[in-house]
Structure formats: C-alpha cells, structure tokens
C-alpha cells in the first residue's frame, strides 16, 4: 500500500472569523503568524494562504491557526481548506508557478 501522506503537499487555507468587532484582520493576522512561525513554506495571498509541507505537519499548523484565531477573539470560524496530494510524488509551489515568474 502506498502512503500518500509521506509526500509534500500543498494546502490552501482560508480562515474567516466571526466576531463582535468589525475589524477581523487582527484575528486573521494571528492565524498567519502561526503559519509564519511553523517553519513550513507558505505564501500569503489576498484570499487565502498556501502552505507546503508533509501532510501531518500542514494539518497540524492549520489546526493551530484555528486555535489562535479563536483565542484572538473569534466567536466562530468558517474554514476552507483545499489540498493537492499526489499518490507517488511531492507537490511544489514552483511546479505550478515558475512559468509565471
């Protein structure tokens, strides 16, 4: 049996907090801070943050980012996660974007 979770994956995560405040960006900043401190490769975009790493590491960081958002004052979160996982090889940012640079 092939374990696809041993390969590097890409995950796009969007965390949308619901809070009493009209300014949700400080909460989003806390989630991004967790991702930045993870040591994993990442790219912040206007609508989501893309993370690259081993499956379990990436999912752990996403879980910690959610916790940080709740601790920062979110009452609840809407979280969208997209994964690109391959059966027999790694997935990388470069393979998808190098032709545009």
How many domains does the structure of the chain reveal? 1
- pLDDT tens-digit readout, 47-58: 999 999 999 999
Select from 17, 44, 37 the least CA-distant residue to 28: 17
What confidence score (pLDDT) does residue 1 get? 47
Is residue 13 one of the residues assigned to a domain?
Answer: no
Select from 41, 43, 66, 67 the least CA-distant residue to 54: 41
Is residue 49 one of the residues assigned to a domain?
Answer: yes
Is residue 2 one of the residues assigned to a domain?
Answer: no
Q: What does the pLDDT average to over 76-81?
A: 98
Is residue 3 one of the residues assigned to a domain?
Answer: no
What confidence score (pLDDT) does residue 98 get? 87
Is residue 94 one of the residues assigned to a domain?
Answer: no
Is it the case that residue 101 has pLDDT exceeding 50? yes
Whose tokens are 């943050």? That residue is: 49
Is residue 37 one of the residues assigned to a domain?
Answer: yes
Q: Domain range for residue 35?
A: 22-89
What confidence score (pLDDT) does residue 85 get? 94
Is residue 53 one of the residues assigned to a domain?
Answer: yes
Is it the case that residue 67 has pLDDT exceeding 80? yes
Is residue 45 one of the residues assigned to a domain?
Answer: yes
What confidence score (pLDDT) does residue 52 get? 98
Q: Which are the contacts of 62, defined by CB distance < 8 A and separation ≥ 6?
A: 11, 13, 51, 79, 81
- pLDDT tens-digit readout, 16-37: 999 888 899 999 999 999 999 9
Q: What's 68's domain CATH number?
A: 3.30.70.930
């Amino acid at each position: 049996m092939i374990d696809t979770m041993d390969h590097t994956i890409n995950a796009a995560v969007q965390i949308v907090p619901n809070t009493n405040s009209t300014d949700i960006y400080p909460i989003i900043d806390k989630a991004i801070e967790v991702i930045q401190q993870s040591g994993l490769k990442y790219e912040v975009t206007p609508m989501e943050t893309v993370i690259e790493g081993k499956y379990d590491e990436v999912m752990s960081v996403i879980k910690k980012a959610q916790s940080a958002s709740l601790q920062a004052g979110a009452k609840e979160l809407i979280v969208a996660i997209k994964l690109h996982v391959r059966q027999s090889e790694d997935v990388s940012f470069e393979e998808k974007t190098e032709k545009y640079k």
